[in-house]
Amino acid sequence: MTNSPSTTSPEAPGLARPHTRHFGSAAVWALSAAIIGYALVFGGYMATIVAFALIYAVFVSGLNVFMGLTAQVSFGQSAFAAIGGYTSAVLTTTYEWAPLPGMVAGLVFALVAAFLIGFPTLRLKGHYLAMATLAIGLITYEIAVEWESVTQGYLGISGIPPLGIGPFEAVSDRAILSVLSVIVVILAFAVTRIRRSRLGRAFSAVAGSEEAAGALGINVSRYKLVSFLIAAAIASLSGSLFVHVVGYVSPEVFGLHMVILAFTMVYIGGLGTVAGPLIGALIISILPEVFRGMKDYQDLAYGVTMILILIYAPKGIAGVAGALDARRSA
Amino acid sequence: MTAILEVTKATRRFGGLVAVNDVSFKVSSTGVTAVIGPNGAGKTTLFNIISGSIPPSEGAILLAGEDVTALKPEAKAARGLVRTFQLVKLFQDLTATENVKVGFHLKSRGGLLAALFQPAWAKQAERDAEEKAAALLDLVGLSKVARTSASVLPYGQQRLLEIARALAAEPRILLLDEPAAGLNAEESERLAKTIRRIAADGTAVLLIEHDMKLVMDIADEVVVLDYGRKIAQGTPEAVKKDPAVLAAYLG
């Protein structure tokens, strides 16, 4: 389902029509930009909603590498967000580190944890892997609750400083939205490049057929692990961003709820697409606000909308846009 | 003859059933070798032992003199033994060109950093892969569908694409598992030409096949299995007249 080959084969010069070919994908990006632009201009409550959506977009981008590009299932990515978030929180409050080194430390811890967990579990297949990852999420939650001397249990850690480098601090809604938008765009760019690389093709091969991948010399468990590590690193980043933006962290933040929400976002946005995590996160975050006026019927309207999207866009919003582009250029 | 592959006393038991029983033969490093036999003769089991998807109960597989019996498929691929599948296993979401480019995995390098920062050598490697993929698709006659998703190709073209993808790994020996299964006469013809061409270009080919006509047309050497045992080996002409082979096939 790639819709943007980087070169055109000499046999098929008629296939390239650059000005029409990315129309659908461009529309998805334009819609996302419009929503973020609205929040930037009008600020207020909408800015808070969109900021949370962008943090989720970061988390979902990681999940998308593991689930979309490599077709593996993990219910435990929230564990790595928790490791990143708590490391940032503890280091910047108790030990008074600056946010950036705290974030890097969180990243390192998350990668080490992901390696220790991923190395044995990624040899498991299908349901077993899903179950193992679910356990990881639950164990991390319990640790966050019980390890009170460090995490302060249910009470949580407050007074976490805002995002910042040196004298610059992202305190205002606009500054926060700008920083988060830049990070999301960089991640989308990175995913685009991964998809078109040797690494991305190895991921696709694992997703397509592990047997065929092995027959071509691809070390399947090694590439699953690489994909898992990338996803864990991005999850850790999203956890750190969360605690700095909100200024507070508690175990509930990284509970099972986070995983379910992220799954909804990745499917509604479009599994394995570049724009999917962003548009999915924005829509899933904003929909409840749109339906808030309907009071008692709010949940019903939300549910019906989800079902309609999945009926008419089974590959997600960005997936359908990509398919339209492919048809237009064929 | 120099042998690229040597199967020595290969035996595989499944419980009480002996699917492959003490089979030994050599595959020449040039030309086409075929393994034939009636249904249930143990062809597929033998093929899986050679490619590494299952270990033999006894016996050894030598690749260019090296014992590779216990190696996994990816390790065998790295040493130049690449297989295709009886039920085609393409990467459905990728285009024909992208499928072939996956085949270059062993012959290229580059991980996450190369993907993200795209240094000059990585870009050059990508251009080379694009060119070589086009050449391989041309070899199997699929240039016209280079940008088409593998999932929508007709079955015959999917088989040819799988062969092109395997060739991308530059095998010293290419294993084809029933390549003519499910092909019509015209597609079968195209396949026969392609296999001859691959052998002529210097890659040894070992194929397991049901289609006798294809085997007689393209094989230089034929190994015949029946009830897990090797009952004959020789040129297609010699094998065709062998009384043991006639008995196995006719009655």
Res A210: pLDDT: 92
Answer whether CATH 3.40.50.300 is correct for domain B81-170: yes
Q: Does A266 touch chain B (CB under 8 A)?
A: no
Q: Would you tell me how many other CB atoms lie within 10 Å of the CB of residue A300?
A: 11
To the nearest 10 degrees (0 to 180), the angle between helices A298-312 and A276-290 is 150
Residue B48 has pLDDT above 70, yes or no: yes
Cα A279 from Cα A1, distance rounded (Å): 18
Res A12: pLDDT: 40
- pLDDT digit string (tens) for B184-204? 888 888 899 999 999 999 999
Give B149's contacts in chain A (Cβ within 8 Å). 1
Q: Does A16 touch chain B (CB under 8 A)?
A: no
The stretches of chain A forming alpha helices (DSSP H) are: 18-21, 23-42, 44-64, 77-93, 99-121, 126-146, 148-151, 173-195, 198-208, 210-215, 220-246, 256-269, 276-290, 298-312, 316-329
Give A201's contacts in chain B (Cβ within 8 Å). 94, 98, 101-102, 105
Residue B248: which pLDDT band, with cuts at 50, 70 and 90? confident
Three-state secondary structure of A105-172: HHHHHHHHHHHHHHHHHCCCCHHHHHHHHHHHHHHHHHHHHHCHHHHCHHHCEECCCCCEECCEECCC
Length of chain A: 330
Min CA distance, A319 vs chain B (Å)?
12
- The reply to whether domains B1-75+204-251 and B81-170 share a CATH topology is yes
Query: Could you state, in order of their start, the residue ranges of all structural domains in chain A?
Result: 48-256
Chain-chain contact of B106 with A226 (C-beta, under 8 angstroms): no
- CA–chain centroid gap for A261, Å, is 11
Cα separations (Å) of A316 from A63, A164, A200, A275, A288? 15, 35, 21, 10, 19
Chain-chain contact of B134 with A5 (C-beta, under 8 angstroms): no
Min CA distance, B138 vs chain A (Å)?
10
Cα A269 from Cα A275, distance rounded (Å): 7
Q: Does B122 touch chain A (CB under 8 A)?
A: yes
Query: Could you state, in order of their start, the residue ranges of all structural domains in chain B?
Result: 1-75+204-251, 81-170
Residue A2 has pLDDT above 80, yes or no: no
The SS3 call for residue B223 is strand
Cα B84 from Cα A173, distance rounded (Å): 56
ipTM of the complex: 0.89
Q: What is the CATH number of domain B1-75+204-251?
A: 3.40.50.300
Residue A15 has pLDDT above 80, yes or no: no
- pLDDT digit string (tens) for B154-173? 988 999 999 999 999 999 99
Phi, psi of B69 (to 5 degrees): -50, -45
Q: Does B73 touch chain A (CB under 8 A)?
A: yes
Q: Which residues contact A29 (CB under 8 A, 6 or more apart)?
A: A275
N-terminal to C-terminal alpha carbon distance within chain A: 13
Q: Would you tell me how many other CB atoms lie within 10 Å of the CB of residue B208?
A: 24
The chain-wide mean pLDDT, for chain B, equals: 91
Give B110's contacts in chain A (Cβ within 8 Å). 197-199
Q: Does B87 touch chain A (CB under 8 A)?
A: no
Q: Which residue of B has its CA nearest to A16?
A: B147
Within 126-165 of B, beta carbons closer than 8 Å to A belong to 126-127, 130, 134, 143-144, 146-147, 149, 165
- pLDDT digit string (tens) for B53-93? 899 999 999 999 999 999 999 999 999 999 999 888 999 98
Min CA distance, B81 vs chain A (Å)?
9
The chain-wide mean pLDDT, for chain A, equals: 87
Residue A19: which pLDDT band, with cuts at 50, 70 and 90? very low
Query: What percent of chain B clears pLDDT 90, i.e. is strictly above it?
Result: 71
Phi, psi of A262 (to 5 degrees): -65, -40
